[in-house]
Amino acid sequence: MRAALARITASQRFRDSPQIAAFLTYVVERTLAGKAEQIKGYTIAVEAFGRDASFDPNSQSIVRTEAARLRQELARYYAEPGRDDPIRIELPRGRYVPVFVRRAVPDCDVTPDRDAAAEPATAPVPPAPPAVVTPPPVSAPPAARRRFQIAPAWFVVLAFVGYGLFDAAVLHGWTPWRPTASSAGPAAGTARRHRDEPWITVAPVTTVGPGAGLSLSPAGLRHKLTDALSRFEDIVVVAAEPAAPETGLVDPAAGVDYVLVPTLVRLGDRTILRLRLLGLPNRLVVWADEFPVEAENDGPDGPFRRIVLEVTSALLQPFGVIPAAERRKRGDRPPAAYDCVLDAAEVARYFDPERRERTRACLEQAIQDDPGFAYGHVLLARLHFRDYVFGFAEADILERSLALTRRAVELAPTSARAHYTLMHIQVARGHVARGLAHGDTALELNPYDVRVLMQVGGQLVAAGQVERGLALLRQARRSTVSNPLPLTWSMFLAAFLTHDLAGMATSVDQMPGAYDFNALARALFLAASGDLASARAVLAPLKARRSPWTEQPRALFARFIPAPGIVERLADSLDRIMVEGAEETATIR
């Protein structure tokens, strides 16, 4: 079973989507360990995705969303590279406990019925709990529905028929709107030839059921979704306008790649926001999710803020739905500047010197070919800054990073990622107040970007503003299914500073990549737990090859932690671990 899991997670599609790989790994390992009864939406969110203990599976749908993506990716895997795998791993609908099915080999040319073949071929697995069926949201009792009582039952039927007709209209190109022509004019087309980043538009919001538009104004919701998406640097949002009914879904000349289709549905006393992402030109449903509107109420935007954070995280984070879909297209189109964006995300998560050099060359060439490529300037600056943080470059690289980022701000003054990159660089140069001001600007420019939340939150923690920084980090953790290193390290640091052993353990287990940085965190956690011997064992390989992180930890920590007290506390803890004669029972504080 584990060999089957390893084949799946090693495939390109699952490497491009580490969050669903983590989902699959978690449920398979739990099942094989005989703990299938522990597999719930809550435990998946907390243990596989790293959400905090306040996660509410009833109002936050991220586990359901990722389960749907996982089922789709498993189907694609077994249709292509895994078609000959001897054992299939499946995730039945309505459940999170996987089943293992041996591939049936037919005795003749006639393909056996799948259901008939699957039953005897099912591999034994530890017993799973009975599936929990969520009751339907309609308040009428089952018996009443079977008698087809007119008032409640037909109301719901008509609502779903209306939604189905709308669905058919969208899928078959009957929707009466198209992108504004001016939004995809010659200037935009020229930029697209250089960069080829994905283009997206938001369809008009439809409502199903009386009162569906009361919790959220349809026009206001569409405006807010368009506004939120337009704040991101790595996509182009195409404005849309009403058009005659005979027009198609999207004018092909506009070059739109994706359409986000929102629907507000009233079911009983609840309003649900249903969102679907359609990929063009084939109009396949790339992603779908739903959000209970009334359950969200967290700030001046009311139900909107939490919803849009989850949506943008699912769609636009480095290994989200859209980047994963774009990675799969790379072999079908000529190389473009957007490929550098995808490569930069890979480098940030999985450090590989060869890939790093290839990405650097790609970004430099893209900027040379297109001097107006603001986000390319940001990514190259971040590449240099990471080299400095990890000890691969010296302080002079910061001046190069500073020049690139300032140019990015000139080209795109509203780029939140340019501003948080300036934050990091200025803090590293010793201008802490100036740097943190850029962090505040980034938060104002795009409060819907999980990367902004985690980068600014992490810098605040490193500057000693632990409470404020941790609040931002927790927002990011709640809204993302992946665990990028900046988030996991910053959560670890906050836990270290507040003596939160459980938080330290969770963050250490979720750190991606094989950085020396991660080994330090694990050693610090073990020492804080009182296990100095294991902490030394973790650091032994670093000491043997004289890693800079064990040779000069103070100097390296000071490169990105501006608070001297925090640097000393971390370095002093490492010193105690590495002193051979220390008491084994001592606890690092």
Predicted confidence band of residue 411 (pLDDT cuts 50, 70, 90): very high
Q: What is the mean pLDDT of residues 64-75?
A: 83
Could you give the 3-state DSSP secondary structure of residue 348?
Answer: helix
* Residues whose CB falls within 8 Å of the CB of residue 31, separated by 6 or more in sequence, listed in order: 39, 97, 98, 125, 126, 128
User: Which backbone phi and psi does 344 adopt, to 5 degrees?
Assistant: -60, -35
pTM for this one? Answer: 0.69
Predicted confidence band of residue 60 (pLDDT cuts 50, 70, 90): low
Task: Encode burial over 257-283: b for 16+ CB neighbours within 10 A, e otherwise.
Answer: bbbbbbbbbbbeeebbbbbbbbbbeee
- The pLDDT value recorded for residue 250 is 58
Calculate the dihedral angle through the C-alpha atoms of 468, 473, 474, 477, rounding to the nearest 10 degrees. Answer: 170
- Which has more pLDDT, 330 or 439? 439
The average confidence (pLDDT) of the chain is: 78
Q: What is the mean pLDDT of residues 431-448?
A: 96
Tell me: pLDDT of 518 over 70: yes
CA distances from 258 to 75, 198, 218, 285, 399 (A): 22, 8, 20, 10, 38
Residue 341 tokens read as 């964006």
- Which has more pLDDT, 36 or 551? 551
Tell me: pLDDT of 280 over 90: no
Q: How many residues does the chain have?
A: 589
Pick the range with the lowest mean pLDDT from 19-33, 384-398, 575-589: 575-589
Q: What is the mean pLDDT of residues 80-84?
A: 83
User: Which backbone phi and psi does 395 adopt, to 5 degrees?
Assistant: -65, -25
- pLDDT, one tens digit per residue, over 281-292 is 888 899 998 888
CB 445 within 8 A of CB 413: no
Tell me: pLDDT of 272 over 90: no
CB 137 within 8 A of CB 268: yes
Per the listing, tokens 């001297």 go with: 564
- The pLDDT value recorded for residue 216 is 75
DSSP 256-307: --EEEEEEEEEETTEEEEEEEEEETTTTEEEEEEEEESTT---STTTTHHHH
- The pLDDT value recorded for residue 391 is 84
Pick the range with the lowest mean pLDDT from 295-304, 489-498, 566-575: 295-304
Pick the range with the lowest mean pLDDT from 15-19, 90-94, 397-401: 15-19
Predicted confidence band of residue 129 (pLDDT cuts 50, 70, 90): very low
Helix (H) or strand (E) holding 89: strand 87-90
- Highest mean pLDDT (candidates 74-88, 261-275, 397-411): 397-411
Q: What is the mean pLDDT of residues 102-108?
A: 56
Could you give the 3-state DSSP secondary structure of residue 589?
Answer: coil
- The pLDDT value recorded for residue 556 is 93
- Which has more pLDDT, 352 or 165? 352
User: pLDDT > 70: what percent of the chain?
Assistant: 75
Tell me: pLDDT of 141 over 50: no
Predicted confidence band of residue 329 (pLDDT cuts 50, 70, 90): confident
- pLDDT, one tens digit per residue, over 341-380 is 988 888 877 767 888 899 999 999 999 999 999 999 999 9
Side-chain-side CA neighbours of 573 within 13 Å: the count stands at 25
Predicted confidence band of residue 62 (pLDDT cuts 50, 70, 90): confident
- Highest mean pLDDT (candidates 20-24, 123-127, 212-216, 470-474): 470-474
- The pLDDT value recorded for residue 125 is 37
Could you give the 3-state DSSP secondary structure of residue 240?
Answer: strand
DSSP 253: G
Residue 519 tokens read as 């080994």
Predicted confidence band of residue 148 (pLDDT cuts 50, 70, 90): very low
